[in-house]
Structure formats: C-alpha cells, structure tokens
Amino acid sequence: VTGLPFRHVGERFQQSNDTISCYFHMIFTMLATQPFYTDYVRFPAGNTVPSKIQNNPKFWPYFCNAIGAINGSHIHASPPAYVRSNYRNHK
C-alpha cells in the first residue's frame, strides 16, 4: 500500500525487517489463495490485448497471450458492497 521498502515500513511501525517480511508474506498468501482469490479475482472477459499491440508484428508474437495490464497500470478493484464493511479500518 505504501510503496516503501520493508526497511522504511519497519522503521515507520517500529518493527524489524523480519517481522515486516513475515506479515507481508502472510497477507500476500492470503490474497493469492482460496477462498479470497477465487471469490474476488475476476479476469476480464474477451480479448483484452489492445489493438495497437495486436496490429503490430513487432509486439504481437510476444503479447499474444497477454491477459492484463502490461505497462504497470493500476487496476481499480474493490470488494462487493455487501462485504465492504469487513475491510474498513476499525479504531
């Protein structure tokens, strides 16, 4: 979320790099496995490769099987309305 290296996050939250790394991997694993991944991750339907790439013989052989953003774009994602309250920060 912060885009900062582990060292800076650890300093911000006064935790060791090992602790930050451990929690990062725990969260990453949770987001990348069932049931979260299968319930909330949906790939776009149909052909998502831009025509600029499809029509260029220099690019198409390398990106013919592309399924998402290839330029580092951020893709908007949010949980359905009925579960959003589960993901709010509670103080």
- Residue 47 is predicted with a pLDDT of 61
Q: Is the pTM of this model over 0.75?
A: no
Could you tell me which residue, 55 or 3, shows the higher pLDDT?
55
Could you tell me which residue, 33 or 46, shows the higher pLDDT?
33
Print burial letters for 38-65: b (CB count within 10 Å at least 16), e (below 16).
eeeeeeeeeeebeeeeeeeeebeeeeee
Q: How far apart are CA 71 and CA 86, in angstroms?
A: 31
- Residue 32 is predicted with a pLDDT of 84
Tokens 């509670």, residue? 90
The pLDDT-based confidence of 62 (bands split at 50, 70, 90) is confident
The CA-based angle 85-89-90, given to 5 degrees, is: 90
Task: Give percent of the chain above pLDDT 90.
Answer: 0
Residue closest to 65 by CA, chosen among 77, 52, 54: 54
Print burial letters for 4-23: b (CB count within 10 Å at least 16), e (below 16).
eebeebbeeeeeeeeebeee
- Write down the mean pLDDT value for the chain: 75
* pLDDT tens, residue by residue, 68-86: 655 555 556 666 777 777 6
The pLDDT-based confidence of 34 (bands split at 50, 70, 90) is confident
